[in-house]
Structure 1
Amino acid sequence: MTVAQADLSAKFLEMPEGLRIDRPEVADGAALWRIAKDSRTLDLNSSYSYLLWCRDFAGTTAVARDADGRPVGFVTGYVRPERPRTLLVWQVAVDAAHRGKGLAARLLDGLTARVAAERGLSAVETTITPGNTASERLFTSYARRHGAAVEREVLFGTAQFPDGPHDPEVLYRIGPFSA
């Protein structure tokens, strides 16, 4: 991430009143599970997985907290083992009461700025099912803000999912970012 991109992230990170971005704690797992469940768009993982995520991937996950410290949104991600400067964003969700305020974009910018500062970052990846307009807009606007290209390709086709009908998952690769 360049200095200009870091400056842009810092400017965009201004949070709505009373909200702040933080690393998750294990105790946040239940709230993240609830927010994901209430989103009605995400593939809901087990509650156990959200607890593990908050423990094992806290460094590559961001939580938005309200004035009382309760999670109201999150971005989960991990660094790809074979591409240690690539952050794969797993899920993004915001509590219904806080949607429409740009919180998902602020969380994404905050997380990627932190990962870039701590580990270096050359690309961000995510998968989006066709028709998920909100996610498409979130990640294409992220790429525009950071002056990065977006490449798309089907990562997992419908037939690869063993548990019934599932839309394909399209890989969005955003980058490269300047060092």
Structure 2
Amino acid sequence: MSVSSMMRPARHPDASGPPSGVLWSEACDGLSLRNATFGDGADIWRLVGETGVLDLNSPYAYLMMGNWFADTSVVAAADGRLAGFVMGFSPPRQADTVFVWQVGVAAAMRGRGLGRRMLDALVRRSPGAIRYLEATVTPSNEASEALFRGFARSRAARCAVSDLFPSHAFPTGGHEAERLFRIGPLLPRQQ
């Protein structure tokens, strides 16, 4: 099976041209990275479900993120198919911070550094001066912990980890605690 057949097609409301709402895009090594759009929401929702490890939110949440948080969200495509995404936002009263809500990479693309490339693009392309990147990670999610610690090392930035949401705060039970990873201050990366 080819890599491209294992990834979801990147669909958009206007399939005849570039996705509406594209603010920036860049291509390198057969991958294109760009901001997320409304039209990416359904494919992102499907990819989250396929990972088997990310919390699957309502399709509405992914449509909303692509529509109203395009400045702080990134999608990656290979051969016209969704290869990965980063969904984020700037928390209120923290204009120098981007909070990464979810990172997902298609199974065929894992282990290739795509997560870090998307985080780099997110910080580089976010409006304003992003000095900190934050995310929450459960204790058992070793892949996410490695991603964020590796991102911090690549930026020679501090990675402070603290407790944020205890497991008993989740109403459904069985959800692990969420620890806050705060990375920064981030300096501009040399190209």
Matched with 2:93 is 82
Give the whole-Å Cα distance in 2 for the aligned partners of 1:61 and 1:152: 23
Q: Runs ≥4 in structure 1, deviation > 6 angstroms?
A: none
Larger relative contact order, structure 1 or 2 (CA cutoff 8 Å, min sep 6): 1
Pairwise CA distance, 1:18: 2.1
How many pairs are equivalent?
A: 163
TM-score normalised per structure 2: 0.81
Higher-helix-fraction structure: 1
Overall identity of the aligned pairs, in %: 42
Q: Tell me if 1:141 matches 2:153.
A: no
1:96 paired residue among 93, 97, 107: 107
| C-alpha spacing 1:113/1:147, structure 2 compared with 1 (3 Å) | same
Give the whole-Å Cα distance in 2 for the aligned partners of 1:14 and 1:65: 9
Give the whole-Å Cα distance in 1 for the aligned partners of 2:82 and 2:128: 25
TM-score normalised per structure 1: 0.86
**AA aligned opposite 1:41:** V
Give the whole-Å Cα distance in 2 for the aligned partners of 1:27 and 1:83: 28
1:160 paired residue among 159, 164, 169: 169
Matched with 2:14 is none
Give the whole-Å Cα distance in 1 for the aligned partners of 2:167 and 2:173: 9
Give the whole-Å Cα distance in 2 for the aligned partners of 1:75 and 1:26: 14
User: Following superposition of structure 1 onto structure 2, how do residues 19-168 of structure 1 map, counting pairs within 5 Å?
Assistant: 19-68=31-80, 70-115=81-126, 118-168=127-177
**AA aligned opposite 2:56:** L
What is the root-mean-square deviation in Å for CA atoms of aligned residues? Answer: 1.5
List gaps (5 residues or longer) in structure 1: 1-12
Matched with 2:7 is none
Give the whole-Å Cα distance in 2 for the aligned partners of 1:25 and 1:76: 11
Give the whole-Å Cα distance in 1 for the aligned partners of 2:152 and 2:67: 29
